[in-house]
């Protein structure tokens, strides 16, 4: 990962944000894109977090990358030792450093992960897999929704494998409905080369209530995710985004557009000020993926139904800011038969590389 095979992390300054997101996905091991000129001289850098913040500001996907790049990136000469590179990254609070020659031509990239002997994330992953799946009856009569097959394997297996591929290995599964089906299939996680602990809900606990049942409290921010959705988002990007902001809770959101099927009339008292014909309304909606810091868990009541939006509300009331992470990647919430069929139709194209 150091100084070689970094061409896929290079991008011209005339590229768009859409092209940038694709490049970030292709160069996921670096978690950064280097914007260069025709002579491979470094113009600036862009991270996934830079793109997400731009999207929240309303910058469109067709905007040039030059609008959001960092033109003062952290660099070192290629002669710098690994110890010097690591020290400089820790001092600057970054996870990557660009190696450039005297003419600012890019020689390589070093990441903090590449200098570590342990590539695994210490962060726990909490997957909510206890729902009834009533809208998918009779398919869920004897099978919990997260175990329904998509692409020839259970939804939950794809979710766990995607996390494992990114270096996550410590999973907590909240189970209730037909819990034995999930436990019999995954066991303790050994056959998937991970550790799985089960949190058994004796009653409906909501999307956050089950977090109060964790016996071993996390020391690092924890990723929490619904067990009935599939996505191609890089989970380490959400984690990095959370860690780079002063927040206790981050919510992944998706843009949802709704066209009003009528002409909308804007009034000033009784006078018609403006008529908008079938306007499109833009919203950000909850995508069912969260990052929660350990301090936030103290806000969750014990043995009580408690939803994740309630946690975000209570944190905000207590004076803590909540952060939104906008998704642009593939995402589908499998709640109905039509979505199950769609996920099966799209699985090979999206998840089989």
Pull the structure tokens for residue 98.
């660009």
Please indicate, yes or no, whether residues 213 and 314 belong to a single structural domain of this protein. yes
Q: How far apart are CA 195 and CA 175, in angstroms?
A: 16
Res 5: pLDDT: 67
- Give me the chain's average pLDDT, please: 89
pLDDT in tens, 153-198: 999 999 999 999 888 999 999 999 899 999 999 999 999 989 999 9
Please indicate, yes or no, whether residues 32 and 180 belong to a single structural domain of this protein. no
For residue 1, being part of any structural domain is answered with: no
For residue 120, being part of any structural domain is answered with: no
For residue 143, being part of any structural domain is answered with: yes
Weakest mean pLDDT among 18-27, 47-56, 114-123, 127-136: 114-123
Q: What is the pTM assigned to this prediction?
A: 0.81
Please indicate, yes or no, whether residues 211 and 97 belong to a single structural domain of this protein. no
Q: How far apart are CA 125 and CA 222, in angstroms?
A: 6
> Which residues, in sequence order, are CB contacts of 19 under 8 Å at separation 6+?
11, 65
Res 353: pLDDT: 61
Please indicate, yes or no, whether residues 143 and 255 belong to a single structural domain of this protein. yes
Res 235: pLDDT: 93
Please indicate, yes or no, whether residues 91 and 11 belong to a single structural domain of this protein. yes
Percent of the chain with pLDDT strictly greater than 90: 52
Weakest mean pLDDT among 90-99, 143-152, 165-174: 90-99
69, 95, 115 — which closes off a domain?
115
Is residue 3 over pLDDT 60?
A: no
115, 142, 164 — which closes off a domain?
115
> What is the 3-state secondary structure of the chain?
CCCCCCHHHEEECCCEHHHHHHHHHHCCCCCCEEEECCCCEEEEEECHHHHHHHHHCCCCCCCEHHHCCECCCCEECCCCCHHHHHHHHHHHCCCEEEEECCCCEEEEEEECHHHCCCCCECCCEEEECCCCCHHHCCCCCCCCHHHCEECCEEHHHHHHHHHHHCCECEEEEEECCCHHHHHHHHCCCHHHCCEEEEEECCCCCHHHHHHHHCCCCCCCCEEEEECCEEECCCHHHHHHHHHCCCCCEEEEEEEEEEECCCEEEEEECCEEEEEEECCEEEEEEEEEEEEECHHHHHHCCCCCCCCHHHHHHHHHHCCCCEEEEEECCCEEECCCHHHHHHHHHHHHHHHCC
Buried b (16+ CB within 10 A) or exposed e, 225-241: bbbbbbbebbbbbbbbb
CA 11 to chain centre: 23
Res 2: pLDDT: 41
CATH of the domain at 134: 3.90.550.10
Res 1: pLDDT: 39
Please indicate, yes or no, whether residues 56 and 183 belong to a single structural domain of this protein. no
Give the residue-averaged pLDDT of 66-90. Answer: 88
For residue 2, being part of any structural domain is answered with: no
Q: How far apart are CA 325 and CA 238, in angstroms?
A: 7
At 343, the pLDDT band (50, 70, 90 cuts) reads very high
Please work out, in degrees rounded to the nearest 5, the angle formed at the alpha carbon of residue 70 by the alpha carbons of 68 and 72: 155
Please indicate, yes or no, whether residues 171 and 231 belong to a single structural domain of this protein. yes
At 119, the pLDDT band (50, 70, 90 cuts) reads low
pLDDT in tens, 247-277: 999 999 998 888 888 999 998 888 888 999 8
CATH of the domain at 33: 3.10.580.10
pLDDT in tens, 9-54: 999 988 999 899 889 888 888 889 999 998 999 999 999 889 889 9
Weakest mean pLDDT among 63-77, 106-120, 125-139, 296-310: 106-120
Of 69, 70, 52, nearest to 61 by C-alpha is: 52
Is residue 312 over pLDDT 60?
A: yes
- The number of CA neighbours under 13 Å toward the Cβ of 97 is 26
pLDDT in tens, 326-340: 998 999 999 899 999
pLDDT in tens, 50-73: 988 998 888 888 899 989 999 889
Please indicate, yes or no, whether residues 263 and 164 belong to a single structural domain of this protein. yes
115, 150, 169 — which closes off a domain?
115
At 118, the pLDDT band (50, 70, 90 cuts) reads low
Please indicate, yes or no, whether residues 67 and 100 belong to a single structural domain of this protein. yes
Please indicate, yes or no, whether residues 81 and 109 belong to a single structural domain of this protein. yes
- Domain hosting 16: range is 7-115
Res 175: pLDDT: 94
Angle subtended by helix axes 17-26 and 48-56, to nearest 10? 150
For residue 275, being part of any structural domain is answered with: yes
| Number of domain units in the chain | 2
Please indicate, yes or no, whether residues 80 and 135 belong to a single structural domain of this protein. no
Please indicate, yes or no, whether residues 71 and 199 belong to a single structural domain of this protein. no
């Amino acid at each position: 990962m150091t100084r070689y095979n970094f061409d896929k992390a290079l991008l011209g300054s005339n590229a768009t944000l859409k092209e940038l997101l694709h490049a970030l996905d292709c160069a996921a091991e670096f978690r950064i894109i280097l914007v260069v000129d025709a002579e491979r001289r470094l113009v600036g850098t862009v991270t996934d977090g830079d793109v997400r913040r731009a999207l929240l500001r309303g910058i469109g996907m067709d905007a040039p990358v030059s609008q959001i790049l960092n033109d003062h990136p952290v660099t070192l000469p290629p002669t710098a030792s690994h110890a010097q590179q690591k020290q400089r990254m820790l001092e600057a609070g970054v996870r990557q450093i660009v190696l450039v020659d005297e003419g600012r031509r890019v020689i390589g990239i070093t990441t903090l992960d590449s200098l570590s002997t342990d590539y695994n994330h210490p962060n726990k992953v909490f997957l909510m897999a206890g729902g009834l799946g009533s809208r998918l009856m009779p398919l869920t009569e004897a099978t919990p929704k997260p175990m329904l097959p998509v692409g020839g394997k259970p939804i939950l297996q794809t979710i766990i494998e995607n996390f494992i591929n990114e270096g996550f290995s410590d999973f907590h599964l909240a189970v209730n409905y037909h819990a034995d089906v999930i436990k019999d299939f995954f066991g303790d996680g050994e056959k998937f080369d991970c550790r799985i602990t089960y949190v058994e809900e004796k009653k409906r606990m909501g999307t956050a209530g089950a977090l109060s049942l964790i016996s071993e409290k996390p020391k690092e921010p924890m990723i929490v995710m619904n067990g009935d959705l599939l996505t191609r988002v890089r989970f380490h990007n959400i984690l990095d985004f959370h860690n780079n902001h002063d927040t206790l809770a981050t919510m992944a959101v998706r843009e949802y557009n709704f066209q009003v099927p009528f002409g909308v009339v804007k009034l000033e008292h009784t006078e018609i000020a403006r008529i908008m014909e079938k306007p499109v309304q833009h919203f950000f909606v909850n995508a069912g993926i969260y990052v929660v810091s350990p301090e936030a868990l103290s806000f969750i009541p014990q043995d009580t139904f408690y939803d994740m939006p309630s946690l975000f509300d209570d944190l905000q009331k207590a004076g803590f800011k909540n952060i939104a992470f906008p998704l642009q990647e593939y995402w589908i919430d499998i709640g109905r038969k039509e979505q199950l069929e769609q996920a099966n139709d799209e699985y090979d194209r999206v998840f089989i590389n």
